[in-house]
Structure 1
Amino acid sequence: DPQMDLATGERLYSKWEYRRLLEGRYVDVIQPDLCHAGGISEVKKIAAMAEAYYVKVAPHNPQGPISTAAAAHLCLAIPNFLILEYVRQEPYRDQAMQETWEVRDGHLYVPDRPGLGVELNEAVLLANPPRLDRTPAQAFAADGSVFDI
């Protein structure tokens, strides 16, 4: 009988929401989104809580160059890191960085430059403003939870 890990958490916003999942032992993997759950410091606290329950962390990644850099640095700092979501779907996202991070054999190599290690190309960003047709609309379920449509 193969075991399948249960993962959730892309839409949780606080350590208190994760606490309920962890104390109930409802999940094997949590997927906090740094943009939703309070940034690097807060998600590091959530990861520490998860470690106490032997729960792995696979951060959700909204895929922008800055959020990817922040998530990658978080992953390097937590012992219960499992995997980081990383998709190259828009060519300009790599061009938006002065120097593209190397991906080799399924591994993202994080540079040792100061801060998050990202220097943005403002001309590329200005030429590629946010597109509303690509942004999912948010809807609310009867219980108040948020989902994308």
Structure 2
Amino acid sequence: MADSTAVPTRLLREHPALPVVVLCFGGLVAALTQTLLIPIQGELGLLLGTSQANAAWVITITLLAGAVAMPVAGRLADLFGKQRIIVASAALLLVASVICALSDSLAPMLVGRALQGLSMGFIPVGISLMREVTPPRLTGTGIAAM
């Protein structure tokens, strides 16, 4: 059976920076989901119909879930393959973002933000994959950019 991290070599020969661009875009999206609500933190309580103390959990739960997800995602990537975990994390982020976008109260927003945090496990997996598929001259730059 072929390695799940196998990438078409012709594509990489012609476009060695492609994995760097794709994974850096994922890193940008991850950073945005983590920080998007910070500027409106003062209004979250009003928007979600709850107290400011409860609304603070909207940001905290994402960071807590991300802290749990990162080592777990690394182990899952070892078991099931890096590309599968990255795709699963992207799908989870999409579902979580839809939940957050449709939330008008605290509970669904917390669920969505927790799922967004869990999807952040792709960051260490993406760095590991980048190290494997990029030429040595691009690896350091790619990891720094991600």
Q: TM-score, normalising length from structure 2?
A: 0.25
Q: TM-score, normalising length from structure 1?
A: 0.25
Q: Compare the two structures and name the one with the higher helix fraction.
A: 2
Higher relative contact order (CA 8 A, sep 6+): 2
Q: Compare the two structures and name the one with the higher strand fraction.
A: 1
